[in-house]
Structure 1
Amino acid sequence: MSLRTLRAVLSADSSVGAGNVLTTRVEQGLGPDSPTLTFDTPVDAHPAGEALTLSQLDLAVRVRAAALHARGVRRRDPVAVQASAAADQVLCFLALSRLGAIPALLNPALDADTTARYLRRLNAVGLLADTAHAKALADAAPADPALGDPGCGTPLLADIAELADGEPESAPEPYRHWPTDPVAITHSSGTTGLPKAVLHTHASLYAAIRHRLLLPRPQGIDRVLSALPAAHAATLIAVNLALSFDAQLHLISGQSGPAVLEAIERWQPQGVYGFATTWADLARQDLSARDLSSVGLWWNTGDCAHEAHIRRLVAQGSRETATRQGRVRTAGSVFVDGLGSSEMGHSHFHITHTVDSARYGRCVGRPHAFVDCAVLDPDGNELGPGLVGELGTRSPTLSPGYWNDSVTTHRTRVRDYFLTGDLMYRDEDGYYYHVDRAVDTVDLGDGRRLHTAASEERVLAACPDVHDCTVVAFRDGDRTVADVLLQLDPAAVRAATQDDARTAARTAEVLAALEPHVAAVVRSVLVVEDADIPLGPTGKVRKVLLRRRHLAAASSATSATSATSTTSAAAR
C-alpha cells in the first residue's frame, strides 16, 4: 500500500471520520503491518516504546470493545474516562468509538473534587478509571449504597486494567457512524471555573484532516512525538492524522520539559506536538546539552506560544531544505504556531517560524482555508484592521456545543460565529494578533486597556533571564493595579537574592518593556517560585485565582495599615 493510495481512499470515502479511521483501514486492508502508535506504557503483552502495527492496534481495541460491550456499553452511551497513561485514554477512545458510544475524556490532572462536580453535570452512564483516580474520586465523593448514590453521580464501570481481559472475537462489528454522530466529549481548561464539556462529532473532529488529505504531505509528520495531554481533542486529532497519513505517533503520558527531552533522545522523532506550557518548560532547559538533531518541526496548538520560547527551540534540531544541489539537511528547525481550543476543534490559524523570523508580537498568522473568522465588537459587528475585538469564527471543525449546557452553547454564538473569548486584531496584510483573553483584560479608562498576555509577551521578549512571566491585574478600590510575576533562570534567581542593584535594574527593565499606560499601574515586580503560580490541568495559569489572592493580600495590607493608623491616633 502506498501513502498516495491510503490518502486517496480515505479522501474519497465520505463515511470516514473521527470515529472510524482505524476500522476503515482494517476493513480495507490498508497497511495491516504498518507501524502506527507507540506508547510509554505496555499495552497488554506489547512492551512500552515499541510501535503497534495496524493489526496489533486493532486487536488491542477489539479486546477492550468486547470487554466494554460485555459490561453493557451500547451505542450513544456517554462513558467517562480518566487515567494517567496516554495508552489508556487513547485505547478507550478507539474502543468506545467502535461501539458507537461517546467517550468523555477527563484530564488526569483534574483534582478529585472538580472531577466529581464535572461528572455530576456530565451524567455519563459510567466511569472507566485507573486505580489511583478511582480511589481519589471515591474518597472525595463517597458512594451511598443505601440511597443508590454513586457519589459523583456516575458508577464505576471498571478499572481500566480489567478491559485487557476481553475476548477480541466477541467484539461487535464496528458501528457505522453518520457525520453528525457524537464521537467524543473533551473539556475546556477550567482555568476560570468548572471545565465545560465540549462535544465533537464524527465529521467535525476529522474536518481539518480531510482538508489536509488534499494537500502536499507536510515535512516532519512521518514520525511525531505527541506531548499533548492525552485527554484533549488535539490528541484525538493527532491519532487520526497519523492513521490517515500512515505515520508513526509516539504518545507520552507527561508533558514536562524533562519528560519530552528524554522521549526525543530515545525515540528520535522528526516532529513534536505540544501546548505552550510544554514549550515554556523546554525553553528553560539546557537544550545545547541534549540531542535534538532529529527534530525539524515543533507544532503548537491551543494558546499561541511566546517569541522567547520559540526562538530557543528553532535554534535546535535540523530540517530538510531545497537547494540547487538538491535537498540537504540544515541546522535549525521550524515552529508552526497558531491558536486553537477544544471548542474550535483544531487550530484556526497558522504561522511558521524559523531562526530568521521577525513577525512575532503574538502574531498567530492567517486563518486556515477551512476557517471563516472576524474580529467583532460587543454587538457582533465586524471591526476593521488594527481594532481589537473578540474573535468570532466559523468552521466545519467547530464543536456543535456544550454537553448538557445549551445555555452556554447559545451564549457563545452570534451571527453564526462562535465567540472564542480571545481578544485579537488583524493587520492590513491579513495577519491576526492575539492580545489577551477577554476575562483577563482590564479597562483603564480613556480608551486604554491593560492586556495581560500582550504585556507578558513584551516582558519575555525584553528580559532574557526571565523564563516566564504572569501579569496579574485587578481593581483595588477605585484604582487598577497590576503585579508582574517573574519566573527566572536559576542563576538569575541566585543573583537577585544577592544583588539589590540587579533587582532594581530588572524592575526598571520590566517597566520599560511595558506600554506606558500599563507601566503606570504596576504596583510591584516580584520574583516568584514555580509553585507560586497556580496552573490548570492543561498547564494554563489560573489568573482568576491569582487575582483573588493578590486582591486579598492588598485588602489585608490596607486593613493592617488602617488598624495601625487608628491605634497610633488613639495613643496620641
Structure 2
Amino acid sequence: MTKDVPPPNGFWAQAAADPDRTVLIAPDGEEWTAGRLHAAGNRLVHGLRAAGLERGDAFAVVLPNGVEFLTAYLAASQAGLYLVPVNHHLVGPEIAWIVADSGAKVLIAHERFAAAARQAADEAELPEARRYAVGAAPGFRPYGELLDGQPDSAPADRTLGWVMNYTSGTTGRPRGIRRPLPGTAPEDAYLGGFLAIFGIKPFDGNVHLVCSPLYHTAVLQFAGASLHIGHRIVLMDKWTPEGMLALMDEHRCTHTHMVPTQFHRLLALPAQTRAAYDVRAMRHAIHGAAPCPDHVKRAMIDWWGGCVEEYYAASEGGGAFATAEDWLKKPGTVGRAWPISELAVFDDDGNRLPAGELGTVYMKMTTGGFRYHKDEDKTRKNRIGDFFTVGDLGYLDEDGFLFLRDRKIDMIISGGVNIYPAEIEAALLAHPAVADAAAFGIPHDDWGEEVKAVVEPADGHRAGPALAADLLAHCARRLAGYKCPKSVDFLAVMPRDPNGKLYKRRLRAPYWEGRERTV
C-alpha cells in the first residue's frame, strides 16, 4: 500500500484487492492467503443461510484456535449474524445453557470436544441437522457439508454482525452480551480501529500472534481487528512458553495479547533458553485479564523493553491503557481511559468521587451500549446513568490514571480466567453430604489463585479425605475443570451473620496470611 492511498477498510475489501497476500499461519504451520480465507468465509455464509439462518440469528462454536474459528468470525460479521464463542473447557450442561440461552440455530464443534458438544446439543434440543463437526463426531454432520457446493462469491445483502460473548456474573449463570446490529454494510464501520488506542497501525509490517484461546472476548477482538487492518495472524493452538518464543522469532511477531500467568512461565525458562530467541520485533505485548505482580512486570520490561503494555477492561466495554513508560512512572496503575471510553469512581450512594478517593470503578463507552441477553434486571443493575461497573474498587489520580485497590472480592482469577464462586457453591450444595459451602481463591505460585472449597457437612456425614474425594468427583461431573475446587476443607459451622450473610473474608484470610492478595 502506498502512503498516499488509504488501505481498503476491512478484510473483505483487502482480500479482493490483494488475494495472494498471506494473512494467516495456522497452528500446523499452513499458510493461508487472503483470497483463500475470503472464499472460505463466503462459503460459510452461504452454507449457514442454506441451513436457515437469517439476519439477527446466532450460531455457536466450540472450537480450538484454528482456521475454522476465524472463518466463523468473518462469516458472522458480514452476514448480520451473532457468533457465540463457547469456552471449550466447559462440560455438556454448561455448553447447553449457552446454546439454548443464545438461541443458536447451528452448533459447530471440533471432534476434540465431541462428547461435551453432543451432550450439550441433546440437552439444548438442537436438531441433528444443525450440528456440524470439524473431524469425526457421532451425531454431527461433517463441517464440510456447510461449505461444499457453496459459491466463493460474496453473499448478497451483506450487513455487519457481532460477536456475542458470554460472561459470568456473581449468580453463576453466564449471560450473553448482546449489542444491537447497526444494519450497515461491514465496511461502513472502521473495523479494527480500536487498535489505534494501543498505538497499533494498519499494515505497517505488523504480525499478530494469537497465544490464548479465541473464545476469550479480548483475544478474538484483537485477532479480528488485526485481520481487518491488514496484519498477518499467527495462531497457536496449545500455548507453551518456548513455543511462543520460537514463533515470535520465526515470524517476527510485532504484537500479541497475553495474561500475567504467561509472563510468569516465560520468566521461569532457563536464561539460555530465553536468550536463544530474538524477540526484538515485538512492539506491543499487551496484557490484561488479571492483576500482574510488580516484580513480574518489571522483569518482563527488563527483558522485552517498552513493548510491555497493560489494559483494564470488561467484556461489556470501556477501559484503560498504560504504556510501559506510564507504569514505570506510576507503578501499579492500569492506565488512563481509552479515547472511546470514560472512567469514573462513585461512592455507595452514587456520588462521583474526586481524584484520590477510593470507590467503585465505573466505565462507559462513547460508541454505544449493550444489554445482557434475556436479563434486563442484570442490564439495569450496577449502573449509574450510562456508566456500568463490574464491581472493582479503585481510585483515579489527579492525572486520570486508574489504580485498583480491590476487585469483586468473591471472584477468583486463576491464570487470567474469571471464576465465579456462586456456581461452584451451587454445585457443592447439590451434594447430599453438604449442609453449607463456600468457594474462594487461595494463593498459587503459577496461576495466581486456585479454587478452595470449605464445606459444612450435613448431619450424618463425616468430614475427612473420603468425603473430600467424593465432593471433588461430584464437582468434576458438573463443572469445567478450571472451575473445580482443587481441595476441600471442613468446618463444623460456617461463619454467617444473623441475616445469613457469609463472612467469606474470615474464611479466606488464613490462607493469605503473610501474603498480599494482588489487586
TM-score (norm 2): 0.71
Alpha-carbon deviation of 1:427? 1.4
Q: Does 1:553 align with 2:511?
A: no
Q: Does 1:24 align with 2:3?
A: no
Work out the CA distance in 2 between the residues paired with 1:439 and 1:280. Answer: 23
Work out the CA distance in 1 between the residues paired with 2:34 and 2:267. Answer: 35
What is residue 264 of structure 2 aligned with on the other side? 280
Q: Does 1:394 align with 2:374?
A: no
What is residue 223 of structure 1 aligned with on the other side? 207
Q: Please say if residues 62 and 117 of structure 2, whose CA atoms lie closer than 8 Å, have aligned partners that are also in contact.
A: no
Alpha-carbon deviation of 1:232? 2.5
Residues 215/233 of structure 1: CA separation in 2 closer, same or farther (3 Å cut): closer
Residues 123/153 of structure 1: CA separation in 2 closer, same or farther (3 Å cut): farther
- Three-state SS of the structure 2 residue aligned to 1:73 is coil
What is residue 357 of structure 1 aligned with on the other side? 328
2:193 aligned to which of 210, 232, 235: 210
Alpha-carbon deviation of 1:343? 1.1
- Three-state SS of the structure 2 residue aligned to 1:380 is coil
Q: Which runs of 5+ in 2 are unaligned?
A: 136-141, 422-439, 448-471, 496-519
Deviations 1:457-504 (A, max 9, x none): xxxxxxxxxx99x9x99xxxxxxxx99634279xxxxxxxxxxxxxxx
- Read off the aligned partner of 1:24 and give its amino acid letter: A
Residues 487/300 of structure 1: CA separation in 2 closer, same or farther (3 Å cut): closer
Alpha-carbon deviation of 1:168? 4.4
Counterparts of 1:408-487 in structure 2 under 5 Å?
Answer: 408-440=378-410, 485-487=443-445
Work out the CA distance in 2 between the residues paired with 1:343 and 1:157. Answer: 29
- Three-state SS of the structure 1 residue aligned to 2:178 is strand
Deviations 1:13-70 (A, max 9, x none): xxxxxxxx223334xx443333222221xxxxxxx32442221211221232333233
- Three-state SS of the structure 2 residue aligned to 1:394 is strand
Work out the CA distance in 1 between the residues paired with 2:487 and 2:374. Answer: 32
Deviations 1:94-140 (A, max 9, x none): 1233332211111212222311223232222221111232322334x
Work out the CA distance in 2 between the residues paired with 1:67 and 1:192. Answer: 37
Alpha-carbon deviation of 1:342? 1.3
- Three-state SS of the structure 1 residue aligned to 2:265 is helix
Alpha-carbon deviation of 1:433? 0.6
- Read off the aligned partner of 1:82 and give its amino acid letter: V
What is residue 167 of structure 2 aligned with on the other side? 188
What is residue 159 of structure 1 aligned with on the other side? 133
What is residue 245 of structure 1 aligned with on the other side? 229
- Read off the aligned partner of 1:293 and give its amino acid letter: V
Alpha-carbon deviation of 1:265? 4.1
Range with greater deviation from structure 2 (430-439 or 156-165)? 156-165
Alpha-carbon deviation of 1:296? 3.9
Work out the CA distance in 2 between the residues paired with 1:191 and 1:257. Answer: 33
Identity of aligned residues (%): 20
- Read off the aligned partner of 1:230 and give its amino acid letter: L
Work out the CA distance in 2 between the residues paired with 1:540 and 1:400. Answer: 30
What is residue 139 of structure 2 aligned with on the other side? none
Q: Does 1:234 align with 2:218?
A: yes
Work out the CA distance in 1 between the residues paired with 2:125 and 2:84. Answer: 15
Alpha-carbon deviation of 1:333? 4.4
Residues 427/128 of structure 1: CA separation in 2 closer, same or farther (3 Å cut): same
Q: Does 1:298 align with 2:281?
A: no
What is residue 313 of structure 2 aligned with on the other side? 340
Q: Please say if residues 349 and 365 of structure 1, whose CA atoms lie closer than 8 Å, have aligned partners that are also in contact.
A: yes
Deviations 1:315-360 (A, max 9, x none): 224xxxxxxxxxxxxxx3421101012111xx62111116992522
Work out the CA distance in 2 between the residues paired with 1:190 and 1:260. Answer: 32
Work out the CA distance in 1 between the residues paired with 2:326 and 2:194. Answer: 29
What is residue 23 of structure 2 aligned with on the other side? 36
- Read off the aligned partner of 2:133 and give its amino acid letter: D
What is residue 514 of structure 1 aligned with on the other side? none
Range with greater deviation from structure 2 (196-205 or 220-229)? 196-205
What is residue 383 of structure 1 aligned with on the other side? 353
Residues 176/105 of structure 1: CA separation in 2 closer, same or farther (3 Å cut): same
Q: Please say if residues 191 and 229 of structure 2, whose CA atoms lie closer than 8 Å, have aligned partners that are also in contact.
A: no
- Read off the aligned partner of 1:406 and give its amino acid letter: E
Deviations 1:198-252 (A, max 9, x none): 2245679967843556997559971121223212232332234323432212122
Alpha-carbon deviation of 1:174? 4.8
Work out the CA distance in 2 between the residues paired with 1:207 and 1:172. Answer: 20
Range with greater deviation from structure 2 (408-417 or 304-313)? 304-313
Q: Please say if residues 258 and 286 of structure 2, whose CA atoms lie closer than 8 Å, have aligned partners that are also in contact.
A: yes
Q: Please say if residues 227 and 273 of structure 1, whose CA atoms lie closer than 8 Å, have aligned partners that are also in contact.
A: yes
Alpha-carbon deviation of 1:79? 0.7
- Three-state SS of the structure 2 residue aligned to 1:176 is coil
Alpha-carbon deviation of 1:424? 1.4
What is residue 267 of structure 1 aligned with on the other side? 251
Work out the CA distance in 2 between the residues paired with 1:376 and 1:355. Answer: 24
Residues 207/67 of structure 1: CA separation in 2 closer, same or farther (3 Å cut): closer
Residues 216/308 of structure 1: CA separation in 2 closer, same or farther (3 Å cut): closer
Residues 196/214 of structure 1: CA separation in 2 closer, same or farther (3 Å cut): closer
Work out the CA distance in 2 between the residues paired with 1:106 and 1:408. Answer: 21
- Read off the aligned partner of 1:188 and give its amino acid letter: T
Deviations 1:163-211 (A, max 9, x none): 3442342666254326xxx522112267872322122456799678435
- Three-state SS of the structure 2 residue aligned to 1:169 is coil
- Three-state SS of the structure 1 residue aligned to 2:164 is strand
Q: Does 1:104 align with 2:75?
A: no
What is residue 499 of structure 1 aligned with on the other side? none
- Three-state SS of the structure 2 residue aligned to 1:369 is coil
Residues 392/91 of structure 1: CA separation in 2 closer, same or farther (3 Å cut): same
Residues 130/3 of structure 1: CA separation in 2 closer, same or farther (3 Å cut): farther
- Read off the aligned partner of 1:93 and give its amino acid letter: Y
Deviations 1:235-272 (A, max 9, x none): 33223432343221212223453543343344331222
What is residue 69 of structure 2 aligned with on the other side? 89
Q: How many residues are aligned here?
A: 431
Residues 391/58 of structure 1: CA separation in 2 closer, same or farther (3 Å cut): same
What is residue 309 of structure 1 aligned with on the other side? 296
Q: Please say if residues 351 and 365 of structure 1, whose CA atoms lie closer than 8 Å, have aligned partners that are also in contact.
A: yes
Residues 415/252 of structure 1: CA separation in 2 closer, same or farther (3 Å cut): same
Q: Please say if residues 58 and 84 of structure 2, whose CA atoms lie closer than 8 Å, have aligned partners that are also in contact.
A: yes
Residues 259/434 of structure 1: CA separation in 2 closer, same or farther (3 Å cut): farther
